[in-house]
Amino acid sequence: MKANGQTSQSSGKLSWGLLFVLCGAIFLEGIDVSMMGVALPSIRAELGMSTGSLQWVVSAYVLGYGGFMLLGGRAADLFGRRKMFLLWLTVFFAFSGLGGLSTEGWMLITARFVTGISAAFMTPAGLSIITTSFAEGTARNKALLVYAGTAAAGFSLGLVVGGILSEINWRWVFFGPVLLAFVILLAAIRLIPASGRPEVSSKGFDLAGAVSVTAAMLLLVYGVVESSNLGWSWTAGILACSALLFGLFATIERRSASPLVRLGIFSASSLVRANLGAMLFAGSFFGFQFVTVLYLQELRGWSSLETGLALLAVGVDSILAPTLTPKLVNRFGNIPVIFGGFCLAALAYALFLPIGLDWTYAAMFPTMILTGLAFSLTYGPLTIAATDGIAEEEQGLASGLLNTSFQFGAALGLAVVTAVQIGATGLDKSPQALLDGYRTAMMVPIAASFLGIGITALGLRKRSAEKYVNS
């Protein structure tokens, strides 16, 4: 009996040690994204990039991330989660360093693209390791909320750390993650247990499906991101090609013996709502951050460090996500908590609409703190909703779908916000014209949040109907 107790205790320590490593990886991904956002004006100044090309420093990462996420999620299920995690963490480590050595804009954009691809394989592998290592229910929910809270903490701390490093030199925004990735890699080799290749891999790999859906995702994201530069005819052509490839992908999946995406997975309405919610939430947040950074640094003249400190209040989510959110989820359930998060997001962005040329930080603070609250209520519960009830052999696929939604949402938000801001400003670069452009662009995050409220409300309605039937 004692031996069994010791085994159980050892297993518990192993599981939480494993979670510590995987949280380190998602923390790394979080700070990598947020530090980049704060450093954009410094990068533009040294490399001489335009606003359109500057967007690509973020969008190239999102293209790689969103375009290869489904392939990454399925690769974890087919070829082994530990193997995929370690391999692509190494690639992340290498290309983050190469980004810091860039001397031209195209070199930096290329490095960011490959770094995004590595995250597309690494992140779903890590998330699926968690969902297959912790039993579904309280233990898994707790692990996922800790994981989500760590990601939020990485994003929040990255805002400040990115500001500090940018004040020294923007290249340290790349070199910093290299050091952290090396430490995490060493810990991962030791703490992530070896496991055999999943049985499902014996059925083969759906290469045709992988190529078609990846190409479709890349064209879709590219068309959205570059729509303002390509013109309507080219954009329509690219989006039409993307639609054709998605149709080809669906045909391949229906006929494949071992599909990359079992189309029946979309019969889970909670998964569909969670992915739509993730896309809208990420789009609203990244659009808001892009507008805020440009407003503070290029219009108001704030430094990178001051901008990072201004956004630090958003970091309240790193405290609330692992503490308050689990209690709210246990008390009310995922859907009501997500609904509350979207409501707070809509309010936060609406409060930022009256920004002026002489706005004090006290006037901005309500938006910052409410955005952090919204993040804490939305991110973790969406992660649970997207993977809850999914079979173990498809956890990597579900994780890939969720992260694809987050990344495509980020690309969409950035693209639309940039297009609206450029269109509203025009050739007039006066302070008032820039301010008007930022105000107009802020309508995009607000609209996305209201769409999120509507989609989540459908889940609330279904939940209420199920309770009525059961009673």
Q: What is the pLDDT of residues 87-141, one digit of tens each?
A: 999 999 899 889 888 888 889 999 999 998 998 898 888 888 887 777 777 777 7
CB neighbour burial string for 116-147, b if at least 16 within 10 angstroms, e if fewer: bbbbbbbbbbbbbbbbbbbeeeeebbbbbbbb
Indicate the pLDDT class of residue 418, thresholds 50, 70 and 90.
Answer: confident
Q: pTM of the full predicted structure?
A: 0.76
- Summarised one tens digit per residue, pLDDT across range 27-55 is 888 888 778 878 888 888 888 887 667 77
- CA–CA distance, 392 with 77 (Å, rounded to integer): 9
Mean pLDDT of 63-78: 78
Indicate the pLDDT class of residue 363, thresholds 50, 70 and 90.
Answer: very high
Which amino acid does the sequence have at 17? G
Instruction: State what percent of residues in the chain have pLDDT above 90.
Output: 24
- CA–CA distance, 38 with 158 (Å, rounded to integer): 9
- Report the pLDDT value the prediction gives residue 6, as an integer from 0 to 100: 40
- Summarised one tens digit per residue, pLDDT across range 207-216 is 788 778 778 8
Indicate the pLDDT class of residue 320, thresholds 50, 70 and 90.
Answer: confident
CA distances from 69 to 127, 246, 261 (A): 12, 15, 12
- Summarised one tens digit per residue, pLDDT across range 214-242 is 788 778 777 876 776 778 899 899 999 99
Mean pLDDT of 153-166: 78
Per CATH, which fold does 14-193 belong to? Answer: Growth Hormone; Chain: A; (1.20.1250)
Which amino acid does the sequence have at 383? T
Per CATH, which fold does 262-470 belong to? Answer: Growth Hormone; Chain: A; (1.20.1250)
CA 289 to chain centre: 13
- Report the pLDDT value the prediction gives residue 468, as an integer from 0 to 100: 47
Residue 186 has pLDDT above 80, yes or no: yes
Q: Which of 66, 123, 129 lies closest to 92 in space, CA to CA?
A: 123
DSSP category for residue 265: G
Mean pLDDT of 442-457: 95
How many other CB atoms are found less than 10 A from the CB of residue 439? 18
User: Tokens standing for 194?
Assistant: 């070896």
Q: Which residues contact 11 (CB under 8 A, 6 or more apart)?
A: none
